[in-house]
A and B are shown apart, each in its own frame.
Chain A
Amino acid sequence: MSSRILLSCRESYQVLSDYLDGELGAVDRLWLRGHLMMCGKCRTYFEQFRRVHQLAGRPQPEDLPADFEEVMAEVLRRWKDHDSQFLKKPADPWDEER
């Protein structure tokens, strides 16, 4: 791709994620910016893609259990119970309780 002077819209589209994740090389970044300067469709597309990149999967305030302390106490209690029964015999994390 770097050997070409101009990127097509498709090529620009294909590198957007890498660009926003900081995984695009310096030369390719320049080609992309050049295309975006010249192409209105890709510029609007990029702006929307950038917003999605920013927001998708981002942690939210409601991402905490309401009764956090209780959940923790319960887990620690069950862990201790188990521990005293099966000390020094670690379970397989994938297989336990199957």
Chain B
Amino acid sequence: MSAHPADLETARRIAAGDEEAAAGFFRELSGEMFGYARKMLGDPSAAEDALQEAMLGALRSIGRYDGRVSLRSWAFGVLRHKITDAHRKRGRDFVFSSDDPEAERFQADGHWNKDVTFQPWDENAELMEIVRRCMEDLPHNQREALVLRALEGLSTREAAGLLELSEDNLRQVLHRARASVRRCADQKAGDAA
């Protein structure tokens, strides 16, 4: 029994050539798929290409959708592969990291090191822009996890499935990614003040 009967019905209609259903599918998902591609690839025109290829790939192969995950998760899975291809074509290296950015900053007893201090950020700092720039420096897997997790309504379980990680693993990647962004933002917010 499918966990997503409505999605399965949509997929069946599209597979049968229903243009209205295909357009609806495109409209519903293309905004967040483009946003995801843009954050992963940087360049809007590369993101648009990836979106096109992913949507086309998804529409053409939608007959294989089996309703085990939501249609949205499934479509993001297709997009994720297109983005990997686009990275390879541009000769980009995939940097993966699982280091804890704060690991060295604690004493043996678990307190912060004596020389570690935190100053509250300037209220007026352009924090959204700072965070966006800091995310560009993240390793591929950490950025991907953060962007997927920020999609409304996508559970940790769905995101982990998409990223082919265990839920525990994803939670760790997310934590380290956020800790890295905080540290980077702390420097940039400090520079701005």
A interface, CB within 8 angstroms of B? 8-11, 13-14, 16-18, 21, 23, 41-42, 44-45, 47-49, 51-53, 55-60, 62-66, 68, 71-72, 74-76, 78-80, 82-83, 86-87, 90-94, 96-97
Q: Assess whether A57 is in contact with B60, with CB atoms less than 8 Å apart.
A: no
Main secondary structure of the interface of A (DSSP, over half): helix
CB distance from B171 to the nearest CB of A (A): 6
Q: Which residue of A lies closest to B125 (CB)?
A: A51
User: In terms of DSSP, what is the predominant structure of the interface of chain B?
Assistant: helix
| Any A CB within 8 A of the CB of B117 | yes
User: 1/0 contact trace for B118-145 toward A, CB 8 Å?
Assistant: 1111000001100110010000000100
- Using an 8 Å CB-CB cutoff, how does the interface string of B38-68 with A read, 1 for contact, 0 for none? 1100001001100111011111111110000
Complex CA gap A67/B178 in Å reads 33
Chain B residues in the interface with A (C-beta under 8 A): 15, 17, 19, 22-23, 26-27, 30-32, 34-35, 38-39, 44, 47-48, 51-53, 55-64, 77-78, 81, 102, 106, 109-112, 116-121, 127-128, 131-132, 135, 143, 146-151, 156, 171, 174-175, 177-179, 181-182, 185-186
The 3 closest A-B pairs by CB, nearest first: A8-B110, A63-B35, A57-B150
